[in-house]
Amino acid sequence: MDLGEINPVLLIASLMVAATPLLLAAIGELVVEKAGVLNLGVEGMMIVGAISGFAISVETGSPWLGFIAAAIGGAVLSLLFVLLTQVALANQVASGLALTLFGLGFSALMGQGYVGIKPPDMADIHIPVISDIPVIGPILFQHDPILYLGIALTAAVWATLKYTRVGLILRAVGENHDAAHALGYKVIKIRILAILFGGACAGLGGAYISLIRVPQWTEGMTAGVGWIALALVVFASWKPWRALLGAYLFGGITVLQLNLQAAGVAIPVEYLAMSPYIITILVLVILSADKSSAPASLGRTFHASH
């Protein structure tokens, strides 16, 4: 065992990378749930995003185009959920589960020719001076642009929900869709847009795994991150900054336990492997002890009865 092999700077820098897919998916789902829709298909949309992004960036050689394709891929899959739940008024839980199963299968089919290929690299941002600051530079200012996009998105979602009229209407639809309808807001339209946004975010998160974190394509490579994102939204009490905190906590402990495993710490591997889940849930449960609760219309089907 040699704990000295763990480099704290590298550790913190890589926890941000590990957290980003989770953060992107969770922020998207947060917006969806704030609009009163429970989409359990996050995992499916992530994996479809992962392969769409991977395939397009391999074919075009541009990781940027890959990420755009991933967002579109996730959104297109979420369109299926829109069709089922908002148009056909099907049950949201069942539709979400179906979306995940479909996405996992479909992505395996799409990815058949892409196993074992290395995708083009996305260059890290390098800002003169501040990226070269010792310790802080490598931790904060030497990452890929998508990682910063995740943080920017968190800030944007937070500000939009809190300060803008669009955010207020979105929250109102999630809180009481009948009242929102009575006031003349287009409940279904707002929900469809929220679901598409959630799909695009999940797709980005998936592509971040296949293009940057790993980077390669294997079947089922999202490995449950979509489910963690769903749990994260709930334990973060539907608050964007808490979702960020939870994602970084989860990412941090994931990276740390991998380092500990590599360093040969005398704790059974199984315990180390489960530690990110347990600690993240514990911390967020303690945080969510305040009285903020779920959007009141969450998961309920809206049907204009007049």
> Whose Cβ is closer to another protein: residue 138's or residue 167's?
167
Taking a C-beta distance cutoff of 8 angstroms, is the pair 229, 74 a contact? no
Min dist CB 168 to another protein, Å, is 6
**Among 62, 131, 176, 275, which residue interacts with another protein (rule: CB under 8 A)?**
176
Q: Which two tokens stand for residue 196?
A: 């598409």
219 binds another protein (CB under 8 A): no
Q: CA–CA separation, 119 vs 57, rounded Å?
A: 7
Taking a C-beta distance cutoff of 8 angstroms, is the pair 35, 175 a contact? no
Kindly list the distances between the CA atom of residue 76 and the CA atoms of 44, 70, 86, 172, 232, in Å, as whole numbers in the listed order.
Answer: 12, 10, 15, 26, 24
Min dist CB 176 to another protein, Å, is 5
**Among 116, 128, 134, 291, which residue interacts with another protein (rule: CB under 8 A)?**
291
Size of the site for another protein (CB under 8 A): 19
* Per-residue b or e along 124-138, where b marks 16 or more CB atoms closer than 10 Å to that residue's CB: eeeeeeebeeeeebb
Q: Is 264 helix (H, G, I), strand (E, B) or coil?
A: coil
Residues 134-173 that bind another protein (CB under 8 A): 165, 168-169, 171-172
Q: CA–CA separation, 136 vs 123, rounded Å?
A: 19
Min dist CB 185 to another protein, Å, is 8
Q: φ and ψ at 105, to 5 degrees?
A: -65, -45
Min dist CB 25 to another protein, Å, is 24
Q: Which amino acid is at 79?
A: L
Eight-class DSSP state of 84: I
Q: Which stretch binds another protein (CB under 8 A): 98-106, 113-121, 147-155, 175-183?
A: 175-183
Q: Mask of contacts with another protein, 86-125, x by CB under 8 A?
A: ----------------------------------------
**Among 133, 135, 223, 296, which residue interacts with another protein (rule: CB under 8 A)?**
296
Q: φ and ψ at 7, to 5 degrees?
A: -95, 110
290 binds another protein (CB under 8 A): no
> Whose Cβ is closer to another protein: residue 210's or residue 297's?
297
**Among 3, 94, 155, 183, which residue interacts with another protein (rule: CB under 8 A)?**
183
Question: Which residue has 């937070």 as its token pair?
Answer: 158
Interacting residues with another protein (CB under 8 A): 165, 168-169, 171-172, 175-176, 178-180, 182-185, 291, 293, 295-296, 306
